[in-house]
Amino acid sequence: MENLLKNLMKPLVFFILLMAPLAALAQQHHLGIRAGEPFAITYKTFLDEQFSAEAMVGRGGPNSTQYYRRAFENSRPVSSAIYTGQSTSDALSLHARLAYNEDISSEFNITEGQLFGYAGVGAMLRSVRVNYVYHTPSPTTEGQFRNDHRTNIDFGPEAFIGSEYYFEDFPISVFAEVGMFLEVVDRPGHIKLLGGIGARYLF
């Protein structure tokens, strides 16, 4: 846990600097926790009655084994290296997003509080530390495994839809959403599904 907190400090400072101009324009601040992909701290503010901006910083899940195996085979540490496996750590996910929000309370006959539907786009940066394990067929190193440490960085756009309920008597909202991330760096065209639920405190 201590290492995780240390790894989040620099991105958290970046996150605060990123949101500072928007926070100055905001009428109300929404700060909370999102569980899912990624698990993150989320800050949201409305720019006007319908458009909102959001930033998230947190821990994203790794890609599939096939994803990392392909990356290894496309860039072997030595030409004779044979992939054995990998482990991942220090997964970091940063998001900057804009969304259109619509009050849909009447469609669901909600008389207390407000229910909003929303859809938006954003940009996502992911960083994951990957430790590859491999071996070579050389007789002099038979039975020995080696390690190759790399940092996998992905960047690209994301799109998402969701709904958020604002309680009438409490400064709290809860939300659920699904989305999709399209990687343009470093594996163009790779798609990753996103989604999560969470709650925010309004102040």
Would the pLDDT of 59 be above 60?
yes
Q: What is the mean pLDDT of the chain?
A: 88
Would the pLDDT of 24 be above 70?
no
Would the pLDDT of 156 be above 70?
yes
Q: Give residue-wise pLDDT tens across range 13-23.
A: 555 565 555 55
pTM: 0.82
Contacts of 129 (CB under 8 A, 6+ apart): 88, 89, 90, 91, 149, 150, 151, 152
Q: Give residue-wise pLDDT tens across range 96-143.
A: 999 999 999 999 999 999 999 999 999 999 999 999 999 988 656 555
Helix or strand holding residue 163 (H, E): strand 146-166
Res. 73 pLDDT band, cuts 50 70 90: very high
Helix or strand holding residue 87 (H, E): strand 82-103
